[in-house]
């Protein structure tokens, strides 16, 4: 259905009526006469007396041009039959959401996760939204920012625990009309709807040392107190991709040794990738002098450019004064990427340089996949549902717009009139 963005201007389409009225008022009075031949003779002999009124087709063309202008100004559009409101469903991606769910006792093997349980609680409500043609946007907090995907179902990858799973999302930023939270603990919300799975505590690995996993075990059936235990773990490793500058490689290997990471074999806790080597001919001008600096230290050398990948955060950016502001080092859980192709000895305090890089590698290093923090394994309480506040109605999106075509038509008609 056609709508107008400026409906009041549609009234201008009545302008041709004024034109027709003017022409009607100013039209030649019709007078029958038996002496028309005399008048015709007069017309031939005195062309000045010939009336140059608007012919009928000019009137129609002018009217059409005016109507086209009026509609062009009113900006007719066709809107799609899309939903009248959009719901944002925040999926809590914290580690606890991927623990098995049970409302009493100990979760059985193969039990649904807390996230799946929350989705199940919301399924009826979600179905109603879908049936009403309303739009669903799934939102996840990832790498310090919100990630959004529109669709009837959440992306399947979001339902599986990631090794880089982070803390819970900033719920307070999502407490607004039209928001729904899928989480495990009942949370206070003023506007957002909450579908909380609840769930009993889930015993398991809660930490690790360089060689062992620390496990919290409990047997609720017997009512025994929780007990801490340790068991050996597989030695994790660090993997290099590419050829880092000697200074960088030496430091990373030293750090790996201190963290009891092997250089081969075992689950990979960290991948250190160098995007290009000094000998790479393909780099060309991209491999240029670079200066990177942190608190109390700086490093000179040469570096390529680094484009951030999804979920990645920058760690070291080229210092002001250098040419451009390239990202020199970026990371995401389990992965560090470096653009350095060559670098000199760090200037300033070498200890500060080592601490900074060590913090980066510690942050990026993955824990053993079994490790879930003790707080995450705690009981989430009872399940709960809170109906959300509906989002404001949205104008339907514009599918087609005809202002330009109408303006073009008006111009062509005007040219026809003047021609």
Partner 1 sequence: MNPSLRRTEYTAAAHFDGEFVRRLELFVAQVVGSRERREGARLGRGAGEGAEFVGYRPYRAGEDLRRLDWSLYARLDRPYVRVTRPEVGGRWLVWLDASASMALGQPPKFQRACELAAVIACVGAKVGARVGIDVSNRRDAPFEFGRLAELPRLLGWLESLEARGREGLATLVRPLTREAALFALGDGFDVAPEALASLAGPARRLSAAWILANDELAPNPRGAVRWVEPETGAAVELDVDAPTRTRYLAALEARLDAWRREFGAVGGVLAVNSSRAPFEETARAVLQGAW
Question: Which positions lie near partner 1, rule CB under 8 A?
Answer: 26-43, 45-46, 49-51, 53
Closer to partner 1 by Cβ: residue 25 or 157: 25
Q: Which long-range contacts (CB under 8 A, 24 or more apart) does 107-112 make?
A: 107/199, 107/200, 107/202
CB of 397 to partner 1, least distance (A): 53
CB of 58 to partner 1, least distance (A): 15
Q: What does each C-alpha distance from 151 to 154, 196, 224, 372 come to in angstroms?
A: 7, 21, 46, 30
Residue whose pair of structure tokens reads 């992306």 in the numeric block: 155
Q: With contact defined as beta carbons under 8 Å apart, do 374 and 98 qualify?
A: no
Closer to partner 1 by Cβ: residue 55 or 279: 55
CB of 47 to partner 1, least distance (A): 11
Closer to partner 1 by Cβ: residue 25 or 418: 25
Q: With contact defined as beta carbons under 8 Å apart, do 138 and 156 qualify?
A: no
CB of 29 to partner 1, least distance (A): 5
Closer to partner 1 by Cβ: residue 34 or 223: 34
Q: With contact defined as beta carbons under 8 Å apart, do 121 and 195 qualify?
A: yes
Closer to partner 1 by Cβ: residue 31 or 109: 31
CB of 413 to partner 1, least distance (A): 25
DSSP state letters, 91-143: E--SGGGGSB--SSSSPPTTPPBHHHHHHHHHHHHHHHHHHTT-EEEEEEEET
Closer to partner 1 by Cβ: residue 42 or 224: 42
Closer to partner 1 by Cβ: residue 21 or 393: 21
Closer to partner 1 by Cβ: residue 56 or 225: 56
Three-state secondary structure call for residue 238: strand
Q: With contact defined as beta carbons under 8 Å apart, do 78 and 400 qualify?
A: yes
Beta strands, E only, 258-353: 268-274, 288-294, 297-303, 313-317, 327-332, 335-338, 340-343, 347-348
Report the 10 Å Cβ neighbour count for 392.
Answer: 10
Residue 394: both structure tokens together: 């949205």
Q: What secondary structure, in 3-state letters, does 246-264 show? A: HHHHHHHHHHHHHCCCECC
Residue whose pair of structure tokens reads 């080092």 in the numeric block: 329
Residue 169: both structure tokens together: 């999302």
Q: Where are the alpha helices (DSSP H) in 142-290?
A: 246-258
Closer to partner 1 by Cβ: residue 11 or 57: 57
CB of 43 to partner 1, least distance (A): 5
Distance CA 192, CA 171 (A): 9
CB of 38 to partner 1, least distance (A): 5
CB of 56 to partner 1, least distance (A): 13
Distance CA 244, CA 178 (A): 48
CB of 11 to partner 1, least distance (A): 31
Closer to partner 1 by Cβ: residue 6 or 50: 50
CB of 64 to partner 1, least distance (A): 24
Q: What end-to-end distance do the CA atoms of the chain give, in Å?
A: 36
């Amino acid at each position: 259905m056609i709508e107008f963005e400026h409906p009041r201007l549609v009234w201008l389409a009545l302008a041709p009526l004024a034109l027709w009225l003017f022409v009607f008022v100013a039209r030649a009075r019709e007078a029958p006469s038996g002496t028309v031949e005399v008048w015709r003779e007069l017309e031939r002999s005195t062309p000045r007396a010939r009336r140059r009124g608007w012919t009928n087709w000019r009137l129609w063309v002018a009217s059409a041009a005016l109507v086209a202008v009026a509609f062009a100004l009113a900006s007719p559009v066709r809107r799609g039959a899309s939903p009248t409101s959009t719901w944002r469903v925040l999926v809590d991606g914290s580690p606890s959401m991927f623990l098995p769910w049970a409302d009493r006792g100990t979760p059985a093997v193969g039990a649904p996760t807390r996230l799946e349980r929350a989705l199940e609680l919301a399924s009826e409500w979600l179905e109603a939204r879908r049936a009403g043609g309303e739009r669903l946007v799934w939102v996840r907090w990832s790498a310090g920012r919100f990630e959004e995907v529109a669709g009837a179902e959440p992306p399947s990858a979001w339902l599986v625990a990631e090794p880089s799973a982070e803390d819970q999302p900033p719920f307070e930023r999502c407490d607004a009309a039209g928001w729904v939270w899928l989480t495990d603990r009942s949370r206070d919300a003023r506007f957002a709807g909450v579908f909380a799975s609840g769930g009993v505590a889930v015993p398991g690995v809660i930490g690790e040392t360089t060689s062992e996993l620390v496990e919290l075990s409990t047997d609720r059936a017997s009512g025994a107190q929780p007990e801490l235990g340790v068991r050996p773990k597989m030695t994790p490793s660090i993997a290099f991709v590419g050829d880092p500058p000697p200074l960088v490689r030496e430091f990373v290997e030293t750090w790996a040794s201190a963290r009891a990471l092997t250089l081969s074999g075992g689950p990979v806790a960290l991948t250190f990738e160098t995007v290009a080597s000094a000998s790479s001919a393909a780099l060309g001008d991209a491999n240029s002098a670079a200066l990177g600096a942190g608190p109390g230290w700086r490093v000179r050398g040469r570096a390529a450019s680094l484009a951030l990948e999804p979920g990645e955060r920058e760690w070291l950016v080229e210092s002001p004064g250098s040419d451009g502001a390239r990202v020199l080092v970026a990371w995401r859980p389990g992965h560090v990427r470096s653009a350095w192709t060559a670098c000199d000895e760090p200037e300033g305090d070498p200890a500060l340089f080592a601490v900074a890089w060590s913090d980066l590698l510690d942050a990026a290093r993955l824990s053993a996949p079994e490790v879930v923090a003790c707080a995450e394994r705690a009981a989430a309480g009872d399940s709960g549902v809170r109906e959300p506040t509906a989002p404001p109605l949205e104008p339907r999106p514009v599918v087609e717009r005809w202002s330009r075509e109408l303006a073009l038509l008006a111009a062509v008609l005007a040219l026809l009139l003047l021609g």
